[in-house]
Amino acid sequence: MKIPFSPPYIDEAVINEVVDSLRSGWITSGPKVKSLEEEIKTFSGAKEVLCVNSWTSGAIMMLRWLGVKEGDEVIVPAYTYSATALAVLHAGAKPVMVDSGKNFNISVEAIRNAITPRTKAIIPVDIAGFPCDYDQIMSMVQEPKIRGLFQVTSAVQKKLGRILVMNDAAHSLGAFYSKKQRTGCETDIAIFSLHAVKNVTTAEGGAICLNLPEPFNNEDLYKELRMTSLNCQTKDAFSKSKAGGWRYDIVGMGMKINMADVNAAIGLAQIREYPSLLKERKRVFETYDKAFTACDWAITPPSIDGEKESSYHIYALRIKDFTEELRDRMIDEIAKSEVAVNVHFIPMPMLSFFKSLGYDIKNYPQAYENFKGEISLPIYPQLNNEQLDFIIRTVKSAYNTIARDSIF
């Protein structure tokens, strides 16, 4: 039985929405992008939402807006996808990597120990869709001692008066931070990814959620950033296309990172169905949990802790006491049955580029511990019970094969 890892969810509603965009004669940024922004805004509870062409470009834009420069520091987890740190580098600052907790997410204590007068922002990451400890992080940046360390070097930083917290919510659209609050409104800024493998996709894309405190005006900031995402052009293409609307101005050095309507159409159809799709993802997750909780060799991933609940984006199974080599052999064994699995993530200090910058995985022991035995299992709404049973049997059989042939 051939089972892919993460195929996109494409039904007739998605196809019809995309065809509607194609037939409209307007495929770049326009009404469907605005409709998607409103849907995500309502769903997440964010004050304003701006859709762009990727999580990465959105993060770069927001860090530039904050005014980071050479010598400034942004705290990120060592255990995440490379885009988190690459965005910091592209914006001109230095990523300060810190270790994780046992639940995969960034360690709050490690954040505290890494703050210096050069710290301008913190980017926690909701690994696999499970929210970080934002009450603690947001309280920390408000502490008088931490605020006293903060050195202002831009107008935006002066207005904020403290370290910015920008949630890398790439995985967590649909997660609950509390029973009444979904991710997207619990920090100053949150950015969702709408990449092809995410719970809601636009093929490529991202959504910036704005929740800045007073004296910021999030509606005004949305307008400013929307223009920035279009090369700081005072009129978008949709406005310029109207009769007599050709004249425009360029009022700054912006970026070209807008989302197109033809992409937004996919996400627009999906987010309207998302509550039911989310239930199906949870069904898959709970089926795995039931199967693997009984295995003394398995560490099941976090899903619900108090009022926090995952978006069920990734099922990050860990194998107790496995080395990297044993984990890799187990993946190879699973592949023999044509079940596609993955690993989330190779910690950034283990990647060649970050090694060349001086990062060393020895400084992040929990990140390595989380990684070395991790195997991500397929999790998406289309999986039926027969397929799930096959995946579970395959994983258990692979473990038994490797464990039988190995002494560890």
CATH of the domain at 119: 3.40.640.10
Which residues, listed in sequence order, are joined to residue 48 by a DSSP beta bridge?
Answer: 210
198 has catalytic annotation? yes
Instruction: Report, as an integer, the average pLDDT of 185-199.
Output: 97
Question: What is the tally of structural domains in the chain?
Answer: 2
Domain encompassing residue 387: 274-405
Q: Is residue 275 pLDDT above 90, yes or no?
A: yes
Residue 194 in any domain: the answer is yes
In terms of domains, do 179 and 77 share one?
A: yes
In terms of domains, do 261 and 346 share one?
A: no
For position 300, which CATH number holds? 3.90.1150.10
Residue 394 in any domain: the answer is yes
Q: Is residue 240 pLDDT above 80, yes or no?
A: no
Mean pLDDT check: name the lowest of 18-22, 175-179, 322-326: 175-179
Catalytic residue among 47, 198, 282, 372: 198
- The last residue of one of the domains, among 265, 295, 325, is 265
The reply to whether omega before 150 is within 30° of 0 (cis) is no
In terms of domains, do 286 and 197 share one?
A: no
In terms of domains, do 316 and 236 share one?
A: no
Instruction: Report, as an integer, the average pLDDT of 175-180.
Output: 91
Residue 116 in any domain: the answer is yes
Share of the chain above pLDDT 90, in %: 93
- The last residue of one of the domains, among 265, 298, 326, is 265
Residues 6+ apart with CB under 8 A from 201: 8, 9, 194, 195, 266, 267, 270
pLDDT for residue 237: 67
Residue 168 in any domain: the answer is yes
C-beta separation of 204 from 195 below 8 A: yes
In terms of domains, do 300 and 236 share one?
A: no
In terms of domains, do 79 and 162 share one?
A: yes
pLDDT for residue 313: 98
Q: Is residue 408 pLDDT above 60, yes or no?
A: no
The pair of structure tokens assigned to 80 is: 């995440």
With cut-offs at 50, 70 and 90, classify the pLDDT of residue 406.
Answer: confident
In terms of domains, do 249 and 364 share one?
A: no
In terms of domains, do 127 and 234 share one?
A: yes
In terms of domains, do 85 and 230 share one?
A: yes
Q: Is residue 140 pLDDT above 60, yes or no?
A: yes
Residue 312 in any domain: the answer is yes
In terms of domains, do 330 and 252 share one?
A: no
Report the chain's mean pLDDT, rounded to a whole number.
96
pTM for the full predicted model: 0.96
In terms of domains, do 233 and 307 share one?
A: no
